[in-house]
Amino acid sequence: MSEGGSVSWIAVTDQALRSAVDVVEGQRQVSNLQDAAANLPELVADFTAIAEAAAVVRPFGWDGRSPSPEVWESLRQAAETLDNRPVTTALRGLERFRSDVKADLTDFWRHHASERLGNVGDLQVLAGTLKGVDGVAELSGELESSLGELARSQDQLPSRQSVEFLSRAESVFRDLQDSLQPEAVRQFLSAVARGGATLGLLGDEVVAWLSDHNAVGRFKIVAGQPSEAVND
Protein backbone atom coordinates (compact mmCIF):
# COMPACT_ATOMS: atom_id res chain seq x y z
CA MET A 1 0.00 0.00 0.00
CA SER A 2 1.34 3.42 -0.91
CA GLU A 3 2.31 5.98 1.69
CA GLY A 4 -0.58 8.15 0.57
CA GLY A 5 -2.94 5.16 0.90
CA SER A 6 -1.64 4.44 4.39
CA VAL A 7 -2.20 8.00 5.45
CA SER A 8 -5.68 7.93 3.98
CA TRP A 9 -6.52 4.68 5.78
CA ILE A 10 -5.29 6.05 9.10
CA ALA A 11 -7.34 9.22 8.65
CA VAL A 12 -10.50 7.27 7.83
CA THR A 13 -9.98 4.96 10.81
CA ASP A 14 -9.38 7.93 13.09
CA GLN A 15 -12.56 9.59 11.90
CA ALA A 16 -14.52 6.36 12.38
CA LEU A 17 -13.25 6.00 15.94
CA ARG A 18 -14.07 9.63 16.72
CA SER A 19 -17.57 9.15 15.33
CA ALA A 20 -18.07 6.02 17.42
CA VAL A 21 -16.94 7.84 20.55
CA ASP A 22 -19.29 10.71 19.72
CA VAL A 23 -22.18 8.27 19.27
CA VAL A 24 -21.47 6.56 22.61
CA GLU A 25 -21.17 9.92 24.36
CA GLY A 26 -24.35 11.10 22.69
CA GLN A 27 -26.20 7.98 23.77
CA ARG A 28 -24.94 8.44 27.32
CA GLN A 29 -26.15 12.04 27.43
CA VAL A 30 -29.53 11.07 25.99
CA SER A 31 -29.84 8.32 28.61
CA ASN A 32 -28.98 10.75 31.41
CA LEU A 33 -31.49 13.28 30.10
CA GLN A 34 -34.16 10.59 29.95
CA ASP A 35 -33.41 9.67 33.57
CA ALA A 36 -33.68 13.34 34.54
CA ALA A 37 -37.01 13.65 32.74
CA ALA A 38 -38.28 10.56 34.55
CA ASN A 39 -37.38 12.11 37.93
CA LEU A 40 -38.95 15.49 37.24
CA PRO A 41 -42.63 14.52 37.88
CA GLU A 42 -41.77 13.31 41.39
CA LEU A 43 -39.82 16.50 42.11
CA VAL A 44 -42.66 18.67 40.83
CA ALA A 45 -45.18 16.75 42.95
CA ASP A 46 -42.96 17.07 46.03
CA PHE A 47 -42.46 20.80 45.58
CA THR A 48 -46.20 21.24 45.07
CA ALA A 49 -46.78 19.51 48.42
CA ILE A 50 -44.04 21.64 50.00
CA ALA A 51 -45.69 24.82 48.71
CA GLU A 52 -49.01 23.74 50.22
CA ALA A 53 -47.31 22.99 53.56
CA ALA A 54 -45.55 26.37 53.48
CA ALA A 55 -48.91 28.11 53.01
CA VAL A 56 -50.20 26.31 56.12
CA VAL A 57 -47.38 27.37 58.46
CA ARG A 58 -46.62 30.83 57.09
CA PRO A 59 -49.43 32.43 59.16
CA PHE A 60 -47.76 30.96 62.26
CA GLY A 61 -44.45 32.73 61.55
CA TRP A 62 -42.49 30.44 59.21
CA ASP A 63 -40.11 32.70 57.29
CA GLY A 64 -39.60 30.37 54.36
CA ARG A 65 -36.43 29.13 52.72
CA SER A 66 -34.94 29.91 49.29
CA PRO A 67 -32.65 27.77 47.10
CA SER A 68 -28.99 28.70 47.16
CA PRO A 69 -27.51 30.89 44.37
CA GLU A 70 -25.74 27.76 43.09
CA VAL A 71 -29.08 26.00 42.54
CA TRP A 72 -30.48 29.02 40.70
CA GLU A 73 -27.37 29.18 38.50
CA SER A 74 -27.50 25.46 37.68
CA LEU A 75 -31.18 25.85 36.71
CA ARG A 76 -30.31 28.77 34.44
CA GLN A 77 -27.55 26.77 32.74
CA ALA A 78 -29.81 23.72 32.38
CA ALA A 79 -32.42 25.85 30.61
CA GLU A 80 -29.89 27.02 28.04
CA THR A 81 -28.37 23.72 26.90
CA LEU A 82 -29.12 20.06 26.22
CA ASP A 83 -25.84 19.08 27.86
CA ASN A 84 -26.72 16.65 30.62
CA ARG A 85 -24.16 17.99 33.10
CA PRO A 86 -25.98 21.22 34.04
CA VAL A 87 -29.27 19.28 34.14
CA THR A 88 -27.81 16.67 36.49
CA THR A 89 -26.28 19.37 38.70
CA ALA A 90 -29.60 21.23 38.84
CA LEU A 91 -31.54 18.09 39.77
CA ARG A 92 -29.10 17.20 42.54
CA GLY A 93 -29.35 20.73 43.90
CA LEU A 94 -33.15 20.58 43.84
CA GLU A 95 -33.15 17.20 45.58
CA ARG A 96 -30.95 18.57 48.39
CA PHE A 97 -33.14 21.66 48.67
CA ARG A 98 -36.24 19.45 48.82
CA SER A 99 -34.79 17.51 51.76
CA ASP A 100 -33.69 20.68 53.56
CA VAL A 101 -36.99 22.52 53.24
CA LYS A 102 -38.99 19.43 54.25
CA ALA A 103 -36.89 19.15 57.41
CA ASP A 104 -37.37 22.87 58.09
CA LEU A 105 -41.14 22.64 57.73
CA THR A 106 -41.57 19.57 59.94
CA ASP A 107 -39.22 20.98 62.61
CA PHE A 108 -41.06 24.31 62.61
CA TRP A 109 -44.42 22.57 62.96
CA ARG A 110 -43.26 20.41 65.88
CA HIS A 111 -41.89 23.48 67.64
CA HIS A 112 -45.07 25.45 66.97
CA ALA A 113 -47.27 22.64 68.31
CA SER A 114 -45.06 22.36 71.39
CA GLU A 115 -45.31 26.10 72.05
CA ARG A 116 -49.09 26.04 71.86
CA LEU A 117 -49.78 22.75 73.61
CA GLY A 118 -46.66 21.48 75.34
CA ASN A 119 -44.66 18.36 74.61
CA VAL A 120 -47.00 15.97 72.81
CA GLY A 121 -45.25 12.90 74.21
CA ASP A 122 -45.48 14.17 77.79
CA LEU A 123 -49.14 15.06 77.29
CA GLN A 124 -49.87 11.58 75.95
CA VAL A 125 -48.36 10.08 79.09
CA LEU A 126 -50.42 12.43 81.26
CA ALA A 127 -53.63 11.68 79.33
CA GLY A 128 -52.99 7.96 79.66
CA THR A 129 -52.39 8.39 83.38
CA LEU A 130 -55.55 10.44 83.93
CA LYS A 131 -57.69 7.97 81.97
CA GLY A 132 -57.90 5.95 85.15
CA VAL A 133 -58.65 8.89 87.44
CA ASP A 134 -62.19 9.38 88.70
CA GLY A 135 -63.96 12.43 87.28
CA VAL A 136 -61.57 13.13 84.38
CA ALA A 137 -61.37 9.74 82.69
CA GLU A 138 -63.62 10.59 79.72
CA LEU A 139 -61.91 13.86 78.83
CA SER A 140 -58.51 12.25 79.34
CA GLY A 141 -59.39 9.45 76.92
CA GLU A 142 -60.55 12.00 74.36
CA LEU A 143 -57.33 13.95 74.82
CA GLU A 144 -55.23 10.83 74.37
CA SER A 145 -57.03 10.08 71.10
CA SER A 146 -56.57 13.65 69.83
CA LEU A 147 -52.90 13.64 70.76
CA GLY A 148 -52.40 10.35 68.93
CA GLU A 149 -53.71 11.91 65.71
CA LEU A 150 -51.48 14.94 66.22
CA ALA A 151 -48.39 12.83 66.98
CA ARG A 152 -48.85 10.75 63.84
CA SER A 153 -49.06 13.89 61.72
CA GLN A 154 -45.86 15.42 63.11
CA ASP A 155 -43.56 13.22 61.03
CA GLN A 156 -45.21 14.51 57.85
CA LEU A 157 -45.38 17.86 56.13
CA PRO A 158 -47.82 20.14 57.99
CA SER A 159 -51.26 20.33 56.43
CA ARG A 160 -54.65 21.86 57.16
CA GLN A 161 -55.53 18.55 58.79
CA SER A 162 -52.50 18.94 61.08
CA VAL A 163 -53.85 22.33 62.16
CA GLU A 164 -57.24 20.74 62.85
CA PHE A 165 -55.60 18.01 64.95
CA LEU A 166 -53.71 20.63 66.97
CA SER A 167 -56.78 22.82 67.49
CA ARG A 168 -58.84 19.83 68.60
CA ALA A 169 -56.17 18.67 71.05
CA GLU A 170 -55.90 22.21 72.43
CA SER A 171 -59.67 22.40 72.89
CA VAL A 172 -59.89 19.07 74.70
CA PHE A 173 -56.87 19.87 76.87
CA ARG A 174 -58.43 23.22 77.79
CA ASP A 175 -61.68 21.47 78.74
CA LEU A 176 -59.70 19.02 80.84
CA GLN A 177 -57.83 21.82 82.57
CA ASP A 178 -61.07 23.70 83.26
CA SER A 179 -62.50 20.60 84.90
CA LEU A 180 -59.59 20.40 87.32
CA GLN A 181 -60.41 22.11 90.56
CA PRO A 182 -59.09 23.57 92.77
CA GLU A 183 -56.72 25.86 90.86
CA ALA A 184 -53.68 24.30 92.53
CA VAL A 185 -54.53 20.95 90.90
CA ARG A 186 -54.83 22.56 87.47
CA GLN A 187 -51.44 24.26 87.88
CA PHE A 188 -49.83 21.04 89.07
CA LEU A 189 -51.10 18.90 86.19
CA SER A 190 -50.38 21.63 83.61
CA ALA A 191 -46.79 21.70 84.83
CA VAL A 192 -46.60 17.90 84.66
CA ALA A 193 -47.71 18.09 81.04
CA ARG A 194 -45.09 20.71 80.18
CA GLY A 195 -41.92 19.11 81.42
CA GLY A 196 -42.53 18.24 85.07
CA ALA A 197 -43.86 19.90 88.21
CA THR A 198 -41.72 21.17 91.07
CA LEU A 199 -42.30 19.94 94.61
CA GLY A 200 -43.51 23.42 95.44
CA LEU A 201 -46.65 22.72 93.38
CA LEU A 202 -47.40 19.54 95.31
CA GLY A 203 -49.31 21.26 98.10
CA ASP A 204 -51.98 19.96 100.47
CA GLU A 205 -54.83 20.67 98.01
CA VAL A 206 -53.09 18.69 95.28
CA VAL A 207 -52.33 15.75 97.57
CA ALA A 208 -55.94 15.76 98.80
CA TRP A 209 -57.27 15.83 95.22
CA LEU A 210 -55.01 12.96 94.15
CA SER A 211 -56.14 10.95 97.18
CA ASP A 212 -59.85 11.71 96.63
CA HIS A 213 -59.58 10.65 92.96
CA ASN A 214 -57.57 7.47 93.64
CA ALA A 215 -54.65 8.94 91.69
CA VAL A 216 -51.86 9.00 94.28
CA GLY A 217 -50.22 5.90 92.86
CA ARG A 218 -50.30 7.21 89.30
CA PHE A 219 -47.56 9.82 89.74
CA LYS A 220 -43.93 9.55 90.79
CA ILE A 221 -41.26 11.98 91.95
CA VAL A 222 -38.13 12.09 89.78
CA ALA A 223 -34.95 13.99 90.66
CA GLY A 224 -33.97 16.71 88.24
CA GLN A 225 -34.82 20.17 87.00
CA PRO A 226 -38.16 20.41 85.19
CA SER A 227 -37.63 21.47 81.59
CA GLU A 228 -40.19 24.23 81.90
CA ALA A 229 -42.03 25.65 84.89
CA VAL A 230 -45.58 26.61 83.95
CA ASN A 231 -47.99 28.47 86.14
CA ASP A 232 -51.09 29.23 84.07
Is the separation of the CB atoms in 165 and 149 below 8 Å? Answer: yes
Per-residue model confidence as pLDDT tens digits over 117-141 = 888 888 888 888 888 787 788 888 9
Position 229 scores a pLDDT of 45
Position 15 scores a pLDDT of 60
% pLDDT > 70, the chain = 78
Compute the average pLDDT of residues 27-45.
66
Over its C-alpha atoms, the chain yields an Rg (Å, rounded) of 31
| Rounded CA separation 39/26 (Å) | 20
For 81, what's the count of Cα atoms within 13 Å in the CB-facing half-sphere?
Answer: 15
Is the separation of the CB atoms in 74 and 36 below 8 Å? Answer: no
| Rounded CA separation 144/127 (Å) | 5
Candidate ranges 16-30, 54-68, 201-215; pick with highest mean pLDDT:
54-68
Per-residue model confidence as pLDDT tens digits over 189-201 = 877 777 777 888 8
Instruction: Return the domain boundaries, the chain.
Output: 3-114, 118-218
Collapsed DSSP state (helix, strand, coil) of residue 62: coil
Q: How far apart are the first and last CA of the chain?
A: 103
Cβ-in-10-Å burial (0-12, 13-18, 19+) of 155 comes to exposed
When the pLDDT of each residue in the chain is averaged and rounded to a whole number, the result is 79
Position 106 scores a pLDDT of 94
**Which positions ≥6 away from 49 have C-beta within 8 Å?**
157
Residue 72 confidence (pLDDT) above 70:
yes
| Rounded CA separation 77/71 (Å) | 10
